[in-house]
Structure 1
Amino acid sequence: MDLHLRHLEATDIPALFDIYSFPSVSENTSQLPYLSSDKVSSLFLNSDDYTLVAVNDTKVVGHVSLFLSPKIRDRHVAGIGIAVHPESHGKGIGRTLLLEAINQADNWLNLIRLELEVHCDNHGAVALYTSLGFEIEAEKQLSTFKAGQYSNMYLMSRIRPDFAAKA
């Protein structure tokens, strides 16, 4: 596998649209299934955010986004969104994307807190996040509607190690 990471370009939106067209991807997000290409574009082409894509040969197979806070007192915080094409699951692409997002957050963007929400039944994602230093801060009861029923979500965060001792 010839995997490399780079910043998102507008020409990558069709590939992200393809990734989010899979129910196995959209069901683990806060979005509805069958996103339009315009919606995908509006989610990821925001110049205030930071999005990397994983490219295998010439195909975009995943992305990670750092959603930077617009609040002046929260500029040290970013939310995370990530998705990997179903054909590329289990190949370490999500881990590679998250490791680079953490590197960028710690060493280039001066972020201290990374946070995300994840469905409690998404055991693979929870295990990945935990292995990279994220901790469960809370379980949000009945916080989202998925596949015809309410489900719980974890709020997870990672505090940059040089600040974790101060927290």
Structure 2
Amino acid sequence: MKESNLKNGQALTIRTAKKEDALNLINYINKIGGESDFLTFGNNEFDISIEKEEAILESYIDAENKIYLIAEIENEIVGSLNYSGGIRQRTKHTGEFGISVAKKYWGLGIGKELIRYMIDWAKEGNVVRKINLRVREDNEAAINLYTKLGFKKEGIISRDFHVDGKYYSSIFMGLEID
């Protein structure tokens, strides 16, 4: 668990998710789906049972190459990040993460804190040596953040998103962990 103060002075807590977070996470994800077209899902598209979400969260708890983080302000989920590495010996050292922050809290540094936590976790462990992500080509704020944190552009995935009848490419970015 990590606690810090945001740019606006509010206290932020980042912690690993647990099974009991399932319902609150489902509600959070369905809410933020309607706040940004940069996510891989839209408003109320996260149709999953509490039991299934609990099982997913439990799968992260003891895994050496998976982590699910929750950012909270006053016990309200305001952000999340999940990283999952490969399941086979040859690919368990690498994986991809997804991140989100509730729109009300954009620009306060929550995304940066979540990513730093994940990077520190990877450095402290002996498994994860490459962290990947995909970001929509026009999400300049996210691309700038990832670049500041050391991620490098590695490729383009064409027509990766389809939103409101328009296709968008994604930029594939990666960070090598020493």
CA distance in 2, matches of 1:93, 1:106: 20
Q: CA 1:87–1:145 in structure 2 vs 1: closer, same or farther (change >3 Å)?
A: same
Displacement of 1:41: 2.0
Query: Structure 2: 5+ residue runs without aligned partners?
Result: 1-9
Match of 1:84 in 2: 101
Match of 1:3 in 2: 12
How many residues are aligned here?
160
CA distance in 2, matches of 1:90, 1:44: 29
- Are 1:16 and 2:25 matched, yes or no? yes
Displacement of 1:24: 2.4
Q: CA 1:42–1:71 in structure 2 vs 1: closer, same or farther (change >3 Å)?
A: farther
**Amino acid paired to 1:41:** E
Equivalent residue of 2:35, what SS? helix
Displacement of 1:37: 4.2
Query: Structure 1: 5+ residue runs without aligned partners?
Result: 163-167
The structure with the largest helix share of the pair is 1
5 Å-filtered alignment, 1:83-122, equals 83-122=100-139
CA distance in 1, matches of 2:138, 2:55: 24
5 Å-filtered alignment, 1:123-162, equals 123-160=140-177, 162=178
Displacement of 1:72: 1.8
Displacement of 1:31: 2.9
Tell me the TM-score normalized by structure 2. 0.80
CA distance in 1, matches of 2:112, 2:100: 11
**Amino acid paired to 1:106:** K
Equivalent residue of 2:119, what SS? helix
Match of 1:41 in 2: 53
Match of 1:31 in 2: 41
Displacement of 1:9: 1.5
CA distance in 2, matches of 1:96, 1:109: 22
CA distance in 2, matches of 1:103, 1:60: 21
Tell me the TM-score normalized by structure 1. 0.85
Q: CA 1:19–1:121 in structure 2 vs 1: closer, same or farther (change >3 Å)?
A: farther
- 1:12-63 Cα offsets, whole Å, 9 max, x none, are 23332233223224x3222344222428827952334310111112111111
Q: CA 1:42–1:145 in structure 2 vs 1: closer, same or farther (change >3 Å)?
A: farther
Q: CA 1:158–1:129 in structure 2 vs 1: closer, same or farther (change >3 Å)?
A: same
4+ residue runs of structure 1 moved beyond 4 angstroms? none
Equivalent residue of 1:104, what SS? helix
Aligned-CA RMSD value: 2.1
Tell whether the 8 Å contact from 1:2 to 1:56 is kept in structure 2 after alignment: yes
Match of 1:165 in 2: none
